[in-house]
Amino acid sequence: MNFFILGGTGFVGNFLIKFILDQGDDVTALVRDESKIKIRSPNLEPVKGDPLKQGDWQKELVRSDVIINLVGSPIMTTWTDKAKKMILSSRVDSTNNVVMALKDSGPKTFICANAVGYFGSRGDEMITDYASPGKDFLSDVCVKWQEAAMGAENLGHRVVVSRFAAVLGPGGGALDQMMPVFKRGMGGKLGNGKQWFPWVHIFDLTRALYFLSRKKEIKGPVNICSPKPVTNEHFTHALGRALNRPTLFRVPGFGLKLRFGEAANVLLASQRCIPKVLHEAGFEFKFEDIEAALADIVHQWK
């Protein structure tokens, strides 16, 4: 198969491209800067363009069997009006441009990234793939992002809305800012630490996306998260043990809000997400337990 990847130079994108190439498939990657692609392969073709703008890249996209959109500006920043606008537009505009390119195309598979932030903070509730959305800013972004992606379904394409949990992996992702702090022995739980923390190992995320590309019967929302979510306190202690460092500190909620403002709600939200669709489709996670996942990641971290 031929894959067209938007957002291929990011943390997830680089891992995903390598995984797809390892399976023997071809990849076309949309990039603003070709030098940011870390992989070199005769089966990888970079196409220069801006996913937020219409361009010749849209003609290349329709030659692929599977389109995966990973575009989205970082969430963990201070949510100024400008930042909020970019968080929303980077996701929705890139998705709309994909749908526009697919208008006169034969049937394709379109896998659009999304996030478990769709659900908002839900306490101890078990959250499956088709649970209702929350009512905060990030939920609203995810709802509009999903609505944009589903526009391709109205054109006759198979659409999968892949809701990512926090992605854990070596060299980046959700651990990027945590690792230096925890390595210095200054890590600790956030708030009271009782909030549920949905997570997924980068290896399982890439495997799940590839699995979804081939499971033609799956469409609509899919939670991509370990079947064993943990509390923030559990995660904190597990990372400390993996690094052989103490985790005695605690970051109070008001401290997070002073640092991140409204975005602190992402860190304090409780989302006990379960990958029901993937489980029922027969997907098997290699890293279900947070301890095994973190041990693997710490071993690989550079």
pLDDT(55) > 80? yes
Residue 109 lies in a domain: yes
For the chain, count helices (H), then strands (E).
11, 16
pLDDT(104) > 70? yes
Residue 73 lies in a domain: yes
Query: What single letter denotes the amino acid at residue 268?
Result: L
pLDDT(175) > 70? yes
Mean pLDDT confidence for 99-110: 96
CATH assignment at residue 78: 3.40.50.720
Instruction: Give the integer Cα–Cα distance in Å for 27 and 42.
Output: 10
Residue 264 lies in a domain: no
Paired strand residues for 6:
30, 69
With CA atoms as reference, report the closest residue to 226 among 151, 138, 158, 294: 294
Residue 241 lies in a domain: no
Structure confidence at residue 62 (pLDDT): 95
pLDDT(103) > 80? yes
Instruction: Give the integer Cα–Cα distance in Å for 142 and 144.
Output: 6
Residue 216 lies in a domain: yes
Residue 48 lies in a domain: yes
Residue 174 lies in a domain: no
pLDDT(201) > 80? yes
Mean pLDDT confidence for 235-242: 97
Our count of domains for the chain comes to 1
Residue 41 lies in a domain: yes
Paired strand residues for 249:
188
- Where in the sequence is the domain holding 73, given as residue range(s)? 2-169+199-226+274-285
| Lowest model confidence (mean pLDDT) among 25-39, 131-145, 157-171, 264-278 | 25-39
pLDDT(302) > 70? no
Bridge-based pairing state of the strands 230-231 and 188-190 = unpaired
pTM of the shown model: 0.96
